[in-house]
A and B are shown apart, each in its own frame.
Chain A
């Protein structure tokens, strides 16, 4: 390895759909790193590769059509080029779309950048009968031109070669567009003025600044204002010149500049490209005749959405049945490393870590779903169908301040039944319209995620058992109705001032995605999720643990439980008798040891399926402790092949079974008391007078509050609160009905609707924080659903009671009300006006 090795920074620029990411992958291989551009949520991908003695750091800029200051992506790309000053920029150009792509090339050249022109997708161009004279093109642009086929790795070495020589050569005479006799003199004089200001001319290319000032570019004006002594004079003179130009030529300078660039592109293409036939998109056009048609379009769209739902959510969930044992195994492994459990009280350093691990694996459990989802999204993006989805649906979504692109995040979040808000929020990434993007992020958590489903099923089973299908349909669709109304309200209020963007969307030709590209993106996104989310989930679940289990039960109550447990142990010992051969085996600390052995055995036995597994299990426990083994086998065991019936062991077994029952009962009582007296429990009791209006008592309050960590836990917490008395095996919904005799269907409807509007779980909130780049939005996303859910629950419960409605009547009445509200919201017109 050479000592003179240096690091060369190179940027990758290009228009969307130019195959930029395949070039990035081709050059960097697996050495990639994903982060965000500072202060914004746009992904910054960088990677590195070796070039002879040097290491090249390649930064992937956002794909943009132009380099104005109007969109975030364009600003980011521009700022990077201006401030980080890469040694060379590879401009990835779609060879089959040269003319339009050159429009960006010119703007890059204007920034005094050492360019390498990469003519990508040469195979597509060839297929379309486009022949490019690369030498001529290189001559025209004053930059090396390297043809490649990115997805086949063709031209890789030549491109690296060109990057090396260009970055070593330093500044080349940049290609300049002649903007014509009307504009050039003005640009010249502006350039001269700017050159005199050393602070600004040392930082930025003056020609570029002059052009931008004539384009009335706000960012360029800001830069001049910041670094120039005479900024007032310069800006004023630019403004005057712009106005004078407009008056004289009846056209704004920016229009002339854009037109000149396009004309120049046309000229260069005419000089260097020969077409053997007319451009055709026959296959794409034929597909679109069906895929975007009036009747088949929506049908195909719904079918696609259904397929995504079926493959990712339904099938993905089935896969979790296979991955869950692995997670459960790792949980047990961790548990085995922790201090061992006590008779009725477990040490803090056991129960707390287990709680955290449980919370973490509950999220990790969804990884198979994410993998499938992200792969499907990548396919949708790469094929070009995503643009068609937006095209077909924009009309509907626009009524509610959303965008055609909002549909995918909503589907992933659980548009019908079952989804996950975390990848849903992540899927908002590609949306260019900031206002619609934020509105979508805010409503995705209102969709029905997978974790809400068991809760609905439980409650529907309680009071709507006769109308299961209708009730499920109600909850699945009411959330969409409410979410759309909420989106509209948000875009009219809190999002009013957010930057919106024109729809203007390219409909790229259909394209078969590469397996590698899809896999890479899907793994990348899943990894990003796991990395970012898990660390924080661990932190937050510690806090929630404290809220649910602290301050803990009082010393007196603790003593009470210990004495009860002691009594039960005494009874047990008495029952087996002093003379039993097992008496000493069960005395003192040995009893605790046996208890662990018993619990382990019972648990292992539940997991063991099939005769062979059971035999192996018995063998294992027999070797572990033969005496204990005799007892757990009820005194029936083999010695040297002979079956033995051990009366004493059977007696111990029966006595211990009773002790075990009492102990479990005590453990449950302790848990219930701990939760009720915890900070969260006290809060649940405290707000009961308020939540009564919504039909919630403190038990429900606690269950709802504890769901905050992860909604999966709501059913578990309810299970804890409404425990079954020992010996009885009622299902949870029956136990709840038993304990809540006063409940009506209205209670349940109110709880269900509150759950539908429930604030996002913590991982989702973190994702929102990540994607909006703002804690404020995260907090907003936490609190508005609580307010909304409370209003709806009170409306349904108190309103329903006042009107004397039954559960079904209230459900239908609320549905109609929500629909009317939705239509009214849709009628409020507020189309973005762009001038």
Chain B
């Protein structure tokens, strides 16, 4: 499954980043690497974007971007 399907307060582990190029590089730079645990904190008031926590810091992504992260639920 992909990261955009995870509901707030659920935790998962990153399996892979499916996009390459700018989006993939950006995610890798921000620490979205396989094996990392990631928690969905909350959706924005209009559902998009979403706030995540990984490695102690918080990052928000749009759903379309979170779709490029493959995860497995913990």
B-binding residues in A (CB < 8 A)? 65-66, 68, 70, 97, 99-100, 103, 215, 252, 254-255, 258-259, 262-263, 279, 281, 285, 288, 292-295, 297-298, 387, 391-392, 394-396, 398, 501-509, 831, 833-835
Contact status A504-B45, CB under 8 Å: no
Contact partner of B28 among A97, A254, A281, A387, CB < 8 A?
Answer: A254
Contact status A100-B46, CB under 8 Å: no
Complex formed: what's the CA distance from A508 to B24 in Å? 22
Contact status B57-A298, CB under 8 Å: no
Contact status A292-B25, CB under 8 Å: no
30 CB < 8 A contacts A-B: A99-B55, A100-B30, A100-B55, A100-B57, A103-B29, A255-B24, A259-B28, A259-B33, A292-B45, A292-B51, A391-B44, A391-B49, A391-B60, A394-B62, A395-B48, A398-B48, A398-B62, A503-B60, A503-B62, A504-B26, A504-B61, A506-B58, A507-B58, A507-B59, A508-B57, A509-B58, A834-B21, A834-B65, A835-B20, A835-B23
The 10 A-B pairs at the shortest CB distance, nearest first, are namely A834-B23, A258-B28, A395-B46, A66-B29, A279-B56, A507-B58, A297-B45, A503-B62, A70-B22, A294-B45
Closest to A65 in B: B29
Q: Mark B23-56, 1 if CB is under 8 A from A, else 0.
A: 1111111110110000001101111110100011
Contact status A392-B30, CB under 8 Å: no
Shortest CB distance B68–A (Å)? 8
Q: How many inter-chain contacts with C-beta < 8 Å in the A-B complex?
A: 122
Q: Which of B20, B42, B55, B56 has the most CB of A within 10 A?
A: B56
Q: Which of A97, A263, A503 has the most CB of B within 10 A?
A: A503
- Residues on B with beta carbons closer than 8 Å to the beta carbon of A387: 60
Contact status A394-B49, CB under 8 Å: yes
Chain B contributes a number of interface residues (CB within 8 A of A) equal to 36
Q: A394-B49, A504-B65 are in contact. Are A258 and B59 (CB under 8 A)?
A: no
- Residues on B with beta carbons closer than 8 Å to the beta carbon of A215: 25
Shortest CB distance A267–B (Å)? 14
Shortest CB distance B64–A (Å)? 6
Contact status B60-A507, CB under 8 Å: yes
Does B10 sit within 8 A of A, measured CB to CB?
Answer: no
A-binding residues in B (CB < 8 A)? 17, 19-31, 33-34, 41-42, 44-49, 51, 55-62, 64-65, 68
Q: A395-B46, A502-B22 are in contact. Are A255 and B56 (CB under 8 A)?
A: no
Complex formed: what's the CA distance from A297 to B44 in Å? 9
Contact status B20-A502, CB under 8 Å: no
Given A394-B44, A503-B62, 5 other A-B residues pairs in contact with their CB atoms under 8 A? A255-B17, A387-B60, A502-B22, A505-B49, A833-B64
Q: A262-B33, A288-B42, A503-B65 are in contact. Are A395 and B47 (CB under 8 A)?
A: yes
Contact status B49-A503, CB under 8 Å: yes
Shortest CB distance B46–A (Å)? 4
Complex formed: what's the CA distance from A485 to B55 in Å? 40
Complex formed: what's the CA distance from A392 to B48 in Å? 8
Contact status A392-B60, CB under 8 Å: no
- Residues on B with beta carbons closer than 8 Å to the beta carbon of A833: 64
Contact status B19-A835, CB under 8 Å: yes
Q: A391-B49, A394-B44 are in contact. Are A505 and B59 (CB under 8 A)?
A: yes
- Residues on B with beta carbons closer than 8 Å to the beta carbon of A252: 20
Contact status B59-A834, CB under 8 Å: no
Contact partner of B44 among A103, A262, A281, A292, CB < 8 A?
Answer: A292
Q: A68-B29, A254-B28 are in contact. Are A505 and B60 (CB under 8 A)?
A: yes
Shortest CB distance A279–B (Å)? 4
- Residues on A with beta carbons closer than 8 Å to the beta carbon of B44: 292, 297, 391-392, 394-395
